[in-house]
Amino acid sequence: MKVAKFGGSSVASAEQIEKVANIIKTDLQKKFIVVSAPGKRHKSDQKMTDMFIQLWKASQQKASLEPFIDPIIKRFTEIVEQLSLSFTIVGEIKQSINKLLHMEEAPIRKLDALKAIGEDSSAKILSAYLTSIGLEARYVNPREAGVMVSDEPGNGKILPESFEMIYKLRSTKGISVIPGFFGYTNDGKLITFSRGGSDITGSIIAAGIKADLYENYTDVDSVYAVNPSIVDNPKKITTLTYKEMRELSYAGFSVFHDEALIPAYREKIPVCIKNTNNPQATGTFIVSEKKPSEKCVVGIASDTGFCSIYISKYLMNREIGFGRKVLSILEEESISFEHAPSGIDDLSIIIREKHLPLEKEKQVLERIQKELCPDLISIHRNLAMIMIVGEGLVRTIGVAKKATSAISSANVNIEMINQGSSEVSMMFGIIADDLEKAVQSLYNAFFVK
Amino acid sequence: MKVAKFGGSSVASAEQIEKVANIIKTDLQKKFIVVSAPGKRHKSDQKMTDMFIQLWKASQQKASLEPFIDPIIKRFTEIVEQLSLSFTIVGEIKQSINKLLHMEEAPIRKLDALKAIGEDSSAKILSAYLTSIGLEARYVNPREAGVMVSDEPGNGKILPESFEMIYKLRSTKGISVIPGFFGYTNDGKLITFSRGGSDITGSIIAAGIKADLYENYTDVDSVYAVNPSIVDNPKKITTLTYKEMRELSYAGFSVFHDEALIPAYREKIPVCIKNTNNPQATGTFIVSEKKPSEKCVVGIASDTGFCSIYISKYLMNREIGFGRKVLSILEEESISFEHAPSGIDDLSIIIREKHLPLEKEKQVLERIQKELCPDLISIHRNLAMIMIVGEGLVRTIGVAKKATSAISSANVNIEMINQGSSEVSMMFGIIADDLEKAVQSLYNAFFVK
């Protein structure tokens, strides 16, 4: 039994929906289908969800709403028309929108309900189309499916009791098409997940029904071993572990909405990233465990936008709680940090620059200076992080040598190395300007030579 | 104006004291001399301080005291006799001991006062000897010198007002010989520093009189670039910065009592480690700053006896305060840790094994498990740390490459790398059994080739 989730680009147009139907038709194991709202059909196109957000904003400003409703209806009409489906679907969508706009409800709840129409309509259209081509398919509302969430508009969290309810879906006959992105509170209020939440729904359904596989259809053939904007035609990754995926996605690999995989991860459901536009491609599997292989490095991720605070104090390591106090100051100032490697008399704190805006920098440095009296405190901006990722990497002699040699031979200085804290990765900090040449050299060393 | 401190082996016998006098005689800049208690004359010998501690123990147990007093007196008598000094010194020592043993005083204060007799007598003997060979020398009691300390028996801390008082010593004529290791509280109680505290006194006097140089006489020609028990005839280090010294002493280079250098460090007094038995040797200078040099690595230190706790949790980096909570648990359990490098979903905590005895291990792991619910927690014992130390190392391309290559070529796996947290060092964690071959290979790479 499989769960297949189709992202925005996979349901962006009638042509795309036909491809989705074809994929479903050829594999009857795909019994549970989760869909996003229609995404972009081309670069300058709008995502349906953004159109709904604009409509909501206009309604808050008491602006004229037709200019916002009309394009939504037009787009659904085109899809329904091209798929030769009944126009009653479009009528229902129109009705839902109008009903919502005139409802007495807190604005934030109205926003959630409006945004959800995109996914909801996608699911209705797809199930109607699957029926029209002779498959036994049915639209299943998230409430009926059992997707129960906490009452946090725009940021719902799945309730643990959901999974038991979802498990009962297993006995459903035919194909269930479930809209992603939203669920319901215990007292029936519609709540969306955070952005990108269709991945969350897919993962929840897969975990709930204890699927054999969770297929996640996007518009790429696979996850690549390195960022294709840095290296041309990089190798495809066929199998990744969850941990490897996490490490890669930390530093620039944005295949997945970060928290989306938790439910699948907990149930150890294998995930496969596939391409709706090229379903023959094997895709990339994400699994709990894999056999150790000789080539232990699976990918090289990289990201810019980091800075570091460097603190030095003679005999720091004798001052019990020094590190904890620094981290407490950051916590009190609501600055989340990435890492805090320490030396004997030194401590570095790596922070994403967006979390330490210039206006906060002064206050944080002053507090550290005043409360902990270091000998030296300095801040370095414009850093990049490179992650070399692979299970078994820590137990393979020579990986560090290969990596440091590759970076040196690109004539790049290594500002920071963090190895051993993670079982599956090795992290290097460099000056952001050197990022491309360092990554290219690393890719050559681990994947080409 | 120089301060010279002579350690236990330098005043262990009359022959050694003659060497010390010769050193002082040939350099009239050495106006302030700080001495330890007589140390070992040969491997199986006893240090005077240990003899006093045994005497104190016997007195606490109401045992017969002669067997403990006699060897002390005998040793001082031998020294005084060989130096052709008046026996009144020995009489005074005997009197001091007896007076103390019969004094009504808290045992812990009695211990401090007894222990201090070793240094005090050394200073008296040396000043008498210097006078006898025609130098203008005078014994100066720490109270007279201005060494005022907190009321913590066995662990006194210098009071800030001391330095101003000590500064006045500059105008003293001739040579002042000051016993190391102890000072006085504001209300006149004798208090010792922690063990090895003659280095502390030397550093305090040097800082107080704002010496041009603080010479620290031991029984080695210099600090070596690597542990001589691992590499035969290693290179000598001519100049070290304070920071480099600290990093080296962390991992096995025990030239200095750790906190001893703080006063000198704060006043930026250069320190020179010299050999009483070979005063012609240049020794090793410890300075605040030095010119950047091409050979940036000055030494390789290493130490065993480490363990690491490894904690892994999916999406750990999203859990604000996770790291801080782990460190708080350790603090609450009074376990001081060395480093806590973190990955995305992982955290390692490096601890000296002596700080995490087996009986505490269970409780700590259970608390972390219960309070933070990680996916995985494990402990690895029998680790060794290697520190590659040198100012400028972080700004030199290729150091990491050289180091990792050397370790790999010794066929040793690198469990951990911590670079960049310190400006002057790079740390490697390996399995303790591999220590020798890894250090030898590193030494070859950085100092021989």
Which of A202-206, A213-217, B55-59, B287-291 has the weakest average pLDDT? B287-291
Cα distances from B182 to residues B118, B254, B345, in angstroms, run: 11, 21, 50
Cα distances from A427 to residues A424, A430, B157, B338, B343, in angstroms, run: 10, 10, 42, 20, 8
* Distance from C-alpha of A231 to C-alpha of A219, rounded to nearest angstrom: 19
CB atoms B339 and A342 under 8 Å = yes
Q: What is the pLDDT, as a whole number, of residue A444?
A: 96
CB atoms A323 and B340 under 8 Å = yes
Residue B256, pLDDT above cutoff 80: no
Question: Are B307 and B435 members of one domain?
Answer: yes
Tokens representing residue B118 in the block: 């070793």
Residue B184, pLDDT above cutoff 90: yes
Residue A271: inside a domain? no
Which of A363-372, B65-74, B330-339 has the weakest average pLDDT? B330-339
Q: How many residues does chain B have?
A: 449
- Give the mean model confidence (pLDDT) for residues B271-286: 95
Q: Where are the alpha helices (DSSP H) in A133-241?
A: 142-145, 162-167, 198-208
Q: What pLDDT band is residue A316 in, cutting at 50, 70 and 90?
A: confident
Overall number of domains in chain B: 2
Q: Please tell me which residue, A393 or B203, carries the higher pLDDT value.
A: B203
Amino acid sitting at position A188: G
Residue A276: inside a domain? no
Find residue B239's DSSP bridge partners.
B285
Q: What is the pLDDT, as a whole number, of residue B251?
A: 67
| Residue found by looking up tokens 């992202």 in the block | A7
CB atoms A420 and B413 under 8 Å = no
* Distance from C-alpha of B155 to C-alpha of B148, rounded to nearest angstrom: 13
**Would you say B224 is a known binding-site residue?**
yes
CB atoms B247 and A347 under 8 Å = no
Question: Are B38 and B147 members of one domain?
Answer: yes
CB atoms A315 and B246 under 8 Å = yes
What's the half-sphere exposure (Cβ side, CA atoms, 13 Å) at A73? 17
Contacts of B324 in chain A (CB under 8 A): 324, 327-328, 331
In 3D space, the residue among B341, B272, B267 whose CA is nearest the CA of residue B311 turns out to be: B341
Residue A259, pLDDT above cutoff 80: no
Residue A48: inside a domain? yes
A214 to chain B nearest CA, in Å?
19
Residue A251, pLDDT above cutoff 70: no
Contacts of A336 in chain B (CB under 8 A): 320
CB atoms A423 and B336 under 8 Å = no
What is the CATH number for A415? Answer: 3.30.2130.10
| Residue found by looking up tokens 């297993």 in the block | A170
A335: left (phi over 0), alpha (psi -120 to 50) or beta: beta
* Inter-residue contact A439 to A388 (CB < 8 Å): no
Question: Are B40 and B170 members of one domain?
Answer: yes
Among A246, A419, A424, whose Cβ lies nearest the Cβ of B414? A419
What is the CATH number for B207? Answer: 3.40.1160.10
Q: What pLDDT band is residue B193 in, cutting at 50, 70 and 90?
A: very high
Q: DSSP character for B437?
A: H
Q: What is the pLDDT, as a whole number, of residue A394?
A: 82
Domain of A394 in residue numbering reads as 299-448
Residue A44, pLDDT above cutoff 80: yes
Residue B88, pLDDT above cutoff 70: yes
Residue B281: inside a domain? no
Which of A28-32, A139-143, A196-200 has the weakest average pLDDT? A196-200
In 3D space, the residue among A439, A417, A436 whose CA is nearest the CA of residue A428 turns out to be: A417
Task: Pick the last residue of a domain from B219, B249, B277.
Answer: B219
In 3D space, the residue among B121, B129, B140 whose CA is nearest the CA of residue B38 turns out to be: B121
Residue B194, pLDDT above cutoff 90: no
Contacts of A250 in chain B (CB under 8 A): 317, 344
Probe site for chain A from B248, B258, B399, B419 (most A CB atoms < 10 A):
B419
Residue A331, pLDDT above cutoff 90: no
| Residue found by looking up tokens 């995985």 in the block | B376
* Distance from C-alpha of A63 to C-alpha of A194, rounded to nearest angstrom: 27
CB atoms B405 and A405 under 8 Å = yes
Residue A255, pLDDT above cutoff 80: no
CB atoms A401 and B401 under 8 Å = yes
Nearest chain A alpha carbon to B336: A320
Question: Are A190 and A59 members of one domain?
Answer: yes
| Orientation angle between helical segments B48-60 and B107-132, nearest 10 degrees | 150
Task: Pick the last residue of a domain from A187, A219, A251.
Answer: A219
C-alpha dihedral (A311, A313, A317, A321), degrees to nearest 10? -70
CB atoms B398 and A417 under 8 Å = no
CB atoms A310 and B262 under 8 Å = no
* Tens-digit pLDDT profile for residues B131-159: 999 999 999 999 999 999 999 999 999 99
Residue A289: inside a domain? no
Question: Are A310 and A191 members of one domain?
Answer: no
* Inter-residue contact A175 to A216 (CB < 8 Å): no
Question: Are A87 and A187 members of one domain?
Answer: yes
Among A347, A397, A417, whose Cβ lies nearest the Cβ of B400? A417
What's the distance, CA B93 to chain centroid?
Answer: 28
* Distance from C-alpha of B108 to C-alpha of B186, rounded to nearest angstrom: 18
Among B321, B347, B422, whose Cβ lies nearest the Cβ of A343? B422
In 3D space, the residue among B412, B446, B408 whose CA is nearest the CA of residue B431 turns out to be: B412
Q: What pLDDT band is residue B286 in, cutting at 50, 70 and 90?
A: very high
Which of A163-167, B135-139, B285-289, B432-436 has the weakest average pLDDT? B285-289
Residue B32: inside a domain? yes
Residue A81, pLDDT above cutoff 90: yes
- Give the mean model confidence (pLDDT) for residues B92-96: 95
Cα angle A214, A219, A224; round to 5 = 80
Which pairing describes strands B182-184 and B190-192: parallel, antiparallel, or unpaired? antiparallel
Question: Are B304 and B428 members of one domain?
Answer: yes
| Residue found by looking up tokens 């401090």 in the block | B112
- Starting at the edge strand that comes first in sequence, how are the strands of the sheet with A30-35 ordered? A137-139, A175-179, A30-35, A2-6, A213-218, A271-275, A284-287, A239-241
* Tens-digit pLDDT profile for residues A102-137: 888 899 999 999 999 999 999 999 999 999 999 999
Cα torsion A394, A398, A401, A402: sign: negative
Contacts of A323 in chain B (CB under 8 A): 327, 340
B447: left (phi over 0), alpha (psi -120 to 50) or beta: alpha
Residue A210: inside a domain? yes
**Would you say B212 is a known binding-site residue?**
no
| Residue found by looking up tokens 């304070």 in the block | B242
* Inter-residue contact B97 to B75 (CB < 8 Å): no
Tokens representing residue A144 in the block: 């009926």
Largest Cα–Cα separation, chain A: 77
Cα distances from B139 to residues B130, B135, B265, in angstroms, run: 10, 13, 26
Probe site for chain A from B401, B430, B441 (most A CB atoms < 10 A):
B401
Cα angle A318, A323, A329; round to 5 = 135
Residue A170, pLDDT above cutoff 70: yes
Among B246, B344, B404, whose Cβ lies nearest the Cβ of A250? B344
Q: What pLDDT band is residue A295 in, cutting at 50, 70 and 90?
A: confident
* Inter-residue contact A40 to A49 (CB < 8 Å): no
* Tens-digit pLDDT profile for residues B327-347: 889 989 988 888 888 888 889
- Give the mean model confidence (pLDDT) for residues B30-45: 96
Task: Pick the last residue of a domain from A204, A219, A234.
Answer: A219
Residue B203 is inside which H or E element, if any? helix B198-208
Cα torsion B273, B277, B279, B281: sign: negative
Among B246, B318, B401, whose Cβ lies nearest the Cβ of A404? B401
Neighbours of B39 (CB within 10 A): 24
Tokens representing residue B404 in the block: 């990792």
Contacts of A317 in chain B (CB under 8 A): 250, 338
- Give the mean model confidence (pLDDT) for residues A178-206: 94
Residue B250, pLDDT above cutoff 70: yes
Contacts of A271 in chain B (CB under 8 A): none
What Rg do the C-alpha atoms of chain B give, in angstroms?
25
Question: Are B95 and B7 members of one domain?
Answer: yes
Tokens representing residue B442 in the block: 């590193």
Residue A280: inside a domain? no
B261 to chain A nearest CA, in Å?
10
* Inter-residue contact B444 to B406 (CB < 8 Å): yes
Question: Are A184 and A53 members of one domain?
Answer: yes
Q: What is the pLDDT, as a whole number, of residue A318?
A: 76
* Inter-residue contact A185 to A174 (CB < 8 Å): no
Question: Are B164 and B309 members of one domain?
Answer: no
Q: Where are the alpha helices (DSSP H) in B293-398?
A: 322-332, 358-372
CB atoms A344 and B429 under 8 Å = no
CB atoms B417 and A414 under 8 Å = no
What Rg do the C-alpha atoms of chain A give, in angstroms?
25
Residue A256, pLDDT above cutoff 80: no
Residue A85, pLDDT above cutoff 70: yes
Q: What is the pLDDT, as a whole number, of residue A355?
A: 92
What's the half-sphere exposure (Cβ side, CA atoms, 13 Å) at B449? 10
B254 to chain A nearest CA, in Å?
15
Give exposure, B322-355, as e/b (b: 16+ Cβ within 10 Å). Answer: bbbebbbbbeeeebebbbbbbbbbbbbbbbbbeb
Q: Please tell me which residue, A91 or B322, carries the higher pLDDT value.
A: A91
Residue A421, pLDDT above cutoff 90: no
Q: Percent of chain B beyond pLDDT 70? A: 98
* Tens-digit pLDDT profile for residues B380-413: 999 999 999 999 888 888 899 999 999 999 999 9
In 3D space, the residue among B319, B301, B153, B134 whose CA is nearest the CA of residue B228 turns out to be: B301
Cα torsion B371, B375, B379, B380: sign: negative
Question: Are B68 and B209 members of one domain?
Answer: yes
A283 to chain B nearest CA, in Å?
23
- Give the mean model confidence (pLDDT) for residues A210-214: 97
Residue contacts between A and B (CB atoms, under 8 Å): 192
Q: What pLDDT band is residue A50 in, cutting at 50, 70 and 90?
A: very high
CB atoms A420 and B429 under 8 Å = yes
* Inter-residue contact B412 to B434 (CB < 8 Å): yes
**Would you say A6 is a known binding-site residue?**
yes
Q: What is the pLDDT, as a whole number, of residue B396?
A: 86
Q: What is the pLDDT, as a whole number, of residue B315?
A: 82
Question: Are A208 and A309 members of one domain?
Answer: no
